[in-house]
Amino acid sequence: MRLAGKVAVITGAASGNGREIALRFAQEGADLVLPDIYFNGADGLCSLLSVQGRRCFATQTDVSNKQEVDQMIATTVREMGRIDIMVANAGIQIGRPFLDITEEEWDRVIDVNLKGVFLCGQAAARQMVAQGDDGCIINIASIMAEVGASGAAAYAASKGGVVQLTKSMAIALAPHEIRVNAIAPGFIDTSMTEVLGAPVKRMLEERTPQERFGHPAEVASVAAFLASTEATFMTGSTITLDGGFTAGFFSAQAVRAAATAAAEAAAEAAAQRTAQGADV
């Protein structure tokens, strides 16, 4: 178990990627603290993990509120004794066209997705420095840090900020032996992507070389690697996990059409060669 004896704080673990990261970290031997604005979901997961032998508790925490974040860190240290790993996963998306998004909606997305990563990372890092040994911080970004979308201006801006914040944190915290990396998932099967609907999902799958959405467990696998001693020389990096979406332009339909055309052309050429042989 790669995380045996470690205490990990995972924000937004009531569902989706955060839940799978918590399950994977528990499997790897970590004890867990699960702060979430949706307390019941996080607490239910803790009940499950406790039955499996892991120490775990949940807190109702709004990551955009400094007082609540500081209280969560203090409670973690009081109950668990230390913090070894912080996964800043909590995030929201308000789908609204750029011309229609309100200032309040913009502020809420930036506050949770970017300010929340800053507050949790800073508070956790201060505790790690006070402990006097190494630590690991993993920020959950998105491929929207690289590509935009008409209905995701605030979300894309926040995730672009997470990537740059990760780099700055890594430089600042390297003298303290604290590694800071980010994961940039593409389209993953979670409640956040369920609202897209079947036609949009199929279009995005067609645009992805692997022709599918990712699974939260795949995000969790990358997080477990980053938190382990296998990644001790990695800091300031962002790992993209998107089935090839950002690799370049791709259309599964176009690829299939091209393959069909090539096969038809090859068959026609073979037929012509056969015909020419028969004429000799």
Q: Give the pLDDT confidence of 114-133 residue by residue, as tens digits.
A: 999 999 999 999 999 999 99
pLDDT at 258 over 60: no
Query: Is 154 strand, coil or helix?
Result: helix
Q: Supply the pTM of this predicted model.
A: 0.89
Element (H, E) at 56: strand 56-60
Cβ of 45: how many Cβ atoms within 10 Å?
24
* Whole-number pLDDT of residue 191: 80
**pLDDT category, 34, cuts 50, 70, 90?**
very high
Cβ atoms within 10 Å, residue 37: 19
Q: What is the pLDDT of residue 36?
A: 98
pLDDT at 266 over 80: no
Residue 218 has what pLDDT?
A: 98
Q: What is the pLDDT of residue 255?
A: 60
Question: Which value, to the nearest 10 degrees, does the dihedral of the CA atoms of residues 121, 168, 219, 79 take?
Answer: -20
Helix axis angle, 16-27 relative to 39-51, nearest 10°?
A: 20
Burial class (CB in 10 A: 0-12, 13-18, 19+), 31: buried
- In this prediction, residue 140 has a pLDDT band, given cuts at 50, 70 and 90, of very high
Are 132 and 77 in contact by the 8 Å Cβ rule? The answer is no
Of the listed ranges 13-22, 53-62, 165-174, 203-212, the one predicted with least confidence: 203-212
Which of 57, 155, 213, 245 does the annotation list as catalytic?
A: 155
Q: Report the pLDDT averaged over residues 9-14.
A: 97
Determine whether 155 is an active site residue: yes
> What class, spelled out in words, does domain 7-248 have in CATH?
alpha beta
What confidence tier does 105 reach under pLDDT thresholds 50, 70, 90? Answer: very high
Residue 159's nearest CA partner among 97, 114, 221 is 114
What average pLDDT does the segment 59-65 reach? 98
pLDDT of res. 267: 74
Strand order in the sheet with 56-60: 56-60, 31-36, 7-10, 85-88, 135-140, 178-185, 238-241
What integer pLDDT is reported at residue 264 of this predicted model? 67
Helices (H) and strands (E) in the chain, counts: 10, 7
Mean pLDDT, the chain, rounded, equals 92
Say if residue 276's pLDDT is above 70.
Answer: no
The two tokens of residue 95 are: 């789908």
| pLDDT for the residue numbered 148 | 86
- pLDDT at site 92: 95
